[in-house]
Structure 1
Amino acid sequence: MSDENPTSPGKALDRLLGIMAALRDPNTGCPWDAQQTMSSLTRYTIEEAYEAVDAIERGAAADIKDELGDLLFQIVFYAQIGKEQGDFEFADIANAISDKMERRHPHVFAGADTDESALSAQWDAIKAQEKAESASSQASMLSDVPTGLPALMYAQKIQKKCAKVGFDWPDIAPVLDKVAEEVDEIQAELQAEPVDSLRLEEEIGDALFAMVNLARHAKVDADAALRRANLKFAKRFAQVEQAAELSNKQLSDMSLAELEHLWQQAKAKA
């Protein structure tokens, strides 16, 4: 398909890049867009990524398209700022990821013969080589895991990295024991006189970390599992609200027993 076609990827991208440049124009652009920096944009990038995930999980094609567009706009925004600073532009970003994907998939782009079972090891080996050749290589193997990731995702990534060098439980049984141990330690802190809020926070953090480890051993994505649990809770709570409304009652005026009854009814419908 030729880029002369307005529906072609190249033409569509050129249009978007042009819009971004116009928005950032210091004289005729949008004041808000013009004053943004890479640092100021990060919160919006995270929000857009989560909104895209939410749309995908809901399976709404129109919303997925819209949210992916918002996410793409974030990349274009960074590219424009990079261009203005003389650091990089969109083509450099696209070429960098293209180079990386070709380099990390020699079985696809270089004719290398790799068994499917060995793909993960090949990927890790190539990444390790890239890190060794990088001038910015860090001392710890965990240094390249961004600490700004959502906490559950960060925990999963550092646990997975440690597991690759053998620092891991051999099976799931001791992981379950560890979860129980951490919950017991929370209970002990809650029973202390007085309760030390910092120690309690630490013990709850340890328990959450142990639960992420349990999810990993069970081959469950902890972040996805919690997100689905959140959505399930929100759906059931909405049913509780509807039931209360049908009874002409305010939730704040109902007893805990009444609320629990409505909750159990909502659970039975799921």
Structure 2
Amino acid sequence: MQDERGGSSSPVGGIDRLVAIMARLRDPVGGCAWDAAQDFASIAPYTIEEAYEVADAIARHDMADLKDELGDLLLQVIFHSRIAEEAGHFALADVATAIIDKMERRHPHIFGDTPDGGHHLWEQIKAEERAGKGASGALDGVAIGLPALLRAEKLQKRAARTGFDWPDGAGPRAKVIEEIAEIDAASAAEREGEIGDLLFSVVNWARHLGVDPEAALRATNAKFEARFAAMEAQAGDGFAGLDLDAKEALWRIAKSLESKA
């Protein structure tokens, strides 16, 4: 069955076909040698990369690209599920059942008999789930593979729920200044650790200011890229040969043009 654009109107049928394609690619006899050789660890970097590419398409408001990138991310889910099925752990249907059960469990105000407003139980239910998996500490279960800024924020939020937190933004701000002084006084061997402490403190300060540090840094990266490209466009092929003062002048011009856009 097709919709008016010529595509399948059944997402289930499409997923079944994708599952079959992955099974064929993984076939040790007639499949793709590369796909058949992969395991969880070897494709994990691709899974992370695809998630970032989804986020990038969203940031660019490119819906055509978002459709493609979501497909790439879906393929990663099916890839992992196929590897697990071959090893006798679980299949794609089990993955779907697990998330269905989780979403219904975490929304008792929608799917259960909890009165409206039951959404406030979300964190309590998640904590109970972690405890059921044997996680006893408040910081247990924060994924190690998360981007460092995002993981720092999650660790801080978990700690804050136990009461271990500054009462306002003044504390983390002072800590940022303290960490800068410690970097200045650090030996070469100590600098990496002190820089890490500074970044962790900046994330904490951002959290208290209500700023998403990961989103803030992504925005600044994009701004830097745009300004640098404008500098190169102004200077032409001779950009690399310019001295720092000339490049700084181009930077100021690029910045002023940006504010007028």
* Aligned twin of 1:250: 238
* 2:115 maps to amino acid: D
Distance in 1 (CA, whole Å) between partners of 2:66 and 2:232 is 28
* 2:144 maps to amino acid: T
* Residue of 248, 263, 269 corresponding to 2:251: 263
Distance in 1 (CA, whole Å) between partners of 2:209 and 2:222 is 21
* Aligned twin of 2:71: 69
* Aligned twin of 1:17: 19
* 2:75 maps to amino acid: F
What secondary structure does 1:12 align onto? helix
What displacement does 1:144 show? 0.8
What displacement does 1:180 show? 1.2
* Aligned twin of 1:81: 83
* 1:138 maps to amino acid: A
What displacement does 1:177 show? 1.1
* Aligned twin of 2:176: 179
Check conservation: 2:130, 2:141, Cα contact below 8 A: no
What displacement does 1:156 show? 0.5
What displacement does 1:140 show? 2.2
What displacement does 1:216 show? 0.7
TM normalised by structure 2 equals 0.93
Distance in 2 (CA, whole Å) between partners of 1:185 and 1:129 is 40
Distance in 2 (CA, whole Å) between partners of 1:41 and 1:168 is 37
Deviations 1:66-109 (A, max 9, x none): 11111110000001111111110100000000000000100000
* Aligned twin of 1:193: none
Deviations 1:151-203 (A, max 9, x none): 101101100000011100001112211111111222223xxxxxx22211111
Distance in 1 (CA, whole Å) between partners of 2:22 and 2:144 is 29
* Residue of 191, 196, 199 corresponding to 1:200: 191
* 1:73 maps to amino acid: L
* Residue of 142, 151, 157 corresponding to 1:154: 151
Distance in 2 (CA, whole Å) between partners of 1:207 and 1:55 is 31
Paired residues, what number? 254
* Aligned twin of 2:124: 125
- Aligned residues: percent identity? 50
- Say if 2:110 is the partner of 1:108: yes
* 1:255 maps to amino acid: D
* 1:7 maps to amino acid: S
* 1:268 maps to amino acid: S
What secondary structure does 1:233 align onto? helix
* Aligned twin of 2:52: 50
What displacement does 1:43 show? 0.8
Deviations 1:206-256 (A, max 9, x none): 1100000011111111111101110110011000110111xxx42221010
TM normalised by structure 1 equals 0.90
Unaligned residue ranges in structure 1 (runs of 5+): 190-195
What displacement does 1:7 show? 2.2
What displacement does 1:133 show? 2.8
What secondary structure does 2:254 align onto? helix
Check conservation: 2:106, 2:122, Cα contact below 8 A: yes
* Aligned twin of 1:218: 209
Distance in 1 (CA, whole Å) between partners of 2:153 and 2:217 is 13
Distance in 2 (CA, whole Å) between partners of 1:138 and 1:82 is 24
